[in-house]
Amino acid sequence: MTRFATTLAFQLAAAIPEAAPFIEKAINTNPGLSQSNLAAQLRHLVYEPFKAAAWSGPLRWTTHLRGPFLIVIDGLDECEDHKDVQAFIADMLDFFKKNPLVPLRFFITSRVEEHIQSCLEKDQVRLENLVNHCSRDDIDTFMSACFEAEIERNPVIKAYTRNHGDWPAKEDKDQLVDHIGGSFIFASALFKYIVDPTDDQSTPMDRLPHTLNMNPGLDILYAKTLSRSKSFPHFSDIISTLALAFEPLPIKGIAELLGIETFEVVRVLLNLQAIIHIPGTDDLPVTMCHTSLRDFLTTENRSGCFFTPPSYHFYLLYRCSTLHDSQRPDTAAALYSIRHGAKHVEQYIQLPAAAQGPFPRFPQTLDTLYTHIFAKSENHFRFSDIISSILLREPGLIPIAEISALLGMETFEVVRVLVNLRPVVYVQEYGHSPVIVCHRSVREFLTTESRSGRFFVSPSFHFRLSGNYFSLNLERLLSPTPSSLNAISSQWCNRSHWHWREFLKVISQNPTIYNELDQLADLPPPNLVILVHLPVYSTFPRGIRRSWLHTLGELQNPADLARPHQVY
């Protein structure tokens, strides 16, 4: 801001000639003024000369009739010297505090960054957040004014309106405004297309209907605008994130998602304000002025070096997975990763191999990512049991509370494992909400031993789940509990039976799985459980009792596990 005060003084002298003598006097009286701080320069070159001119001569009466003078400063946040910006605001507010009746006002546009916002929280300042301002009405007014002027100028349109009434019709203009969105650049381009003469002999009335599906000349505009920031670090990542994100992210959210500093995002976006809406603060979403920008960025033959490849979905998925080490799961980026991480998986999976960009071998690439995610929790207590319970559970969704009861562990121990797995496992509320595996590719990874390795979920775990549900059910029935538990007990009995049948299917297909049962030795044999609790077991549904007794009666030795069994 080295020339800020002198620039204002020059424009003040040009707009208000009465102030020029006072400015000249200040320069002659203070020869070292150019070396003074910003506050001193503003005081001697702007505030005091204006005050002196305003209260003397004819200017005094002019301000009474026409209101105060206005100084407009656009883009204050683009000044790099934060201390000078703060000094300017502080000195300006101090001047108005001491001179409340002076007929001068400042109109400042800026992103409300922290160093600016901290100075503006004063009663003297009126803040207007333009993010909540709907630009549709402004576009409508702009287009109406343009058409009215063109009708007066263009004899063809003027003749048309004499015979056919107003043009364009209200419904046509409303459709056009909706198509334009909030972009004045787009509005100007479309209007020029409609009214400018062409070689095809068409009239503006002919061309208007065609504009509803057009983006005339915007590719060149987008390319020129984007080129202003392409040399900055992280430009490609920031633009690609804007193009492929499933919901608009704030500046802080973009920075957190990409693992970069907030100022690096701002630096890239500041040059792109013609095509991207940049909010006043870092906590409000960044949006595109028009959806055609996304189409441009994702169409290679249009965007060229600015093209966002669809394979970038994989990188966004990876970045989502890294957020869950954070201590703050409620940030914009963390919430985004929970809501949309699985969608990035889906988009990447649907790509043909040739379009998977720098990740040409899909399963191996995702396997590496999933291994990285599951490794975050693998050292937690009973990690494998928790994952196996979620994956093999009877069709349906299993709540955390049920996992806790089923495995005989505290709820917080289950939560501790799942917190780090949020990119692949979704839980709305930790407690009774069901645990949802975000994408089928996670299930395929965990149930394929050659891919998941140490994270492989063996189907032999059905044996444990069957016994656990059975034991849990017996505990409920043998303890003095209200009758309302009968429904729960019946469900657990059915689940025990379902897992037992699944176990038998697995054994019949792969007898070697029997060897894995040594790892489940802490579980009481199902036939022993039945014999000990036979009176209670006799109350179970007849079909389940017959199936259990029939299959257990056949299993006299391990070899019997290898042959098929009849299941009722």
Highest-scoring range by mean pLDDT, 5-19, 415-429, 548-562 = 5-19
State yes or no: pLDDT of 393 exceeds 90. Answer: no
- State both tokens at 44: 């001697």
Per-residue pLDDT, 324: 56
The most distant pair of C-alpha atoms in the chain lies apart, rounded to whole Å, by 116
Domains of the chain: 4-128 (no CATH), 136-216 (no CATH), 234-308 (1.10.10), 354-455 (1.10.10.10), 470-562 (no CATH)
Please tell me the distance from the alpha carbon of residue 208 to that of residue 317, in angstroms, as a whole number: 43
Higher pLDDT residue, 16 or 200? 16
- State both tokens at 532: 């000990």
Residue type, 31: P
Per-residue pLDDT, 551: 45
Per-residue model confidence as pLDDT tens digits over 339-355: 888 888 888 878 776 66
Residue type, 263: F
Q: What is the DSSP code string of 482-544?
A: -TTHHHHHHHHHHHHHHHHHHHHHHHHH-GGGGGGGGGGTTSPPHHHHHHHTHHHHTTS-HHH
Contact 323, 256 (CB under 8 A): yes
State yes or no: pLDDT of 328 exceeds 70. Answer: no
State yes or no: pLDDT of 545 exceeds 60. Answer: no
Please tell me the distance from the alpha carbon of residue 3 to that of residue 125, in angstroms, as a whole number: 25
Contact 225, 272 (CB under 8 A): yes
Cis ω on the peptide bond leading into residue 204 (within 30° of 0)? no
pLDDT, average across residues 448-461: 89
- State both tokens at 119: 């100075």
Dihedral angle sign, alpha carbons of residues 414, 419, 421, 425: positive
Per-residue pLDDT, 46: 92
Per-residue model confidence as pLDDT tens digits over 169-182: 899 899 888 887 77
State yes or no: pLDDT of 561 exceeds 90. Answer: no
Share of the chain above pLDDT 90, in %: 14
Q: Work out the pLDDT band at 246, boundaries 50, 70, 90.
A: very high
CA angle 10, 11, 15 (to 5 degrees): 125
> CB burial class (10 A; 0-12, 13-18, 19+) of residue 464?
buried
Contact 468, 404 (CB under 8 A): no
Per-residue pLDDT, 567: 33
φ/ψ (deg, to 5) at 427: -135, 120
Closest to 345 (Cα-Cα) out of 435, 242, 234, 445: 445
pLDDT, average across residues 472-495: 64
Please tell me the distance from the alpha carbon of residue 132 to that of residue 59, in angstroms, as a whole number: 38
β-sheet bridge partners, residue 72: 107
State yes or no: pLDDT of 277 exceeds 80. Answer: yes
Higher pLDDT residue, 301 or 325? 301
Please tell me the distance from the alpha carbon of residue 143 to that of residue 151, in angstroms, as a whole number: 12
β-sheet bridge partners, residue 288: 276
- The DSSP 8-state label assigned to residue 45 in this structure reads I
Per-residue pLDDT, 200: 64
State yes or no: pLDDT of 424 exceeds 60. Answer: yes
Helices (H), 154-274: 155-164, 170-180, 184-195, 204-207, 218-227, 235-244, 251-258, 262-270
Contact 486, 494 (CB under 8 A): no
Which helix or strand (DSSP H or E) is residue 306 part of?
none
Per-residue model confidence as pLDDT tens digits over 110-157: 876 667 877 877 777 888 776 656 678 888 999 999 999 999 888 888
Q: Work out the pLDDT band at 241, boundaries 50, 70, 90.
A: very high
Per-residue pLDDT, 499: 83
**Lowest-confidence segment of 283-287, 498-502, 521-525 by average pLDDT:** 521-525
Residues composing the chain? 568
Highest-scoring range by mean pLDDT, 250-259, 370-379, 544-553 = 250-259
Q: What is the mean pLDDT of the chain?
A: 78
pTM: 0.54
Q: Work out the pLDDT band at 454, boundaries 50, 70, 90.
A: very high
Closest to 497 (Cα-Cα) out of 530, 522, 454, 523: 530
State yes or no: pLDDT of 530 exceeds 60. Answer: no
Helices (H), 329-439: 332-349, 362-374, 383-392, 400-407, 411-419
State yes or no: pLDDT of 239 exceeds 90. Answer: yes
Q: Work out the pLDDT band at 257, boundaries 50, 70, 90.
A: very high
Dihedral angle sign, alpha carbons of residues 272, 278, 283, 287: negative
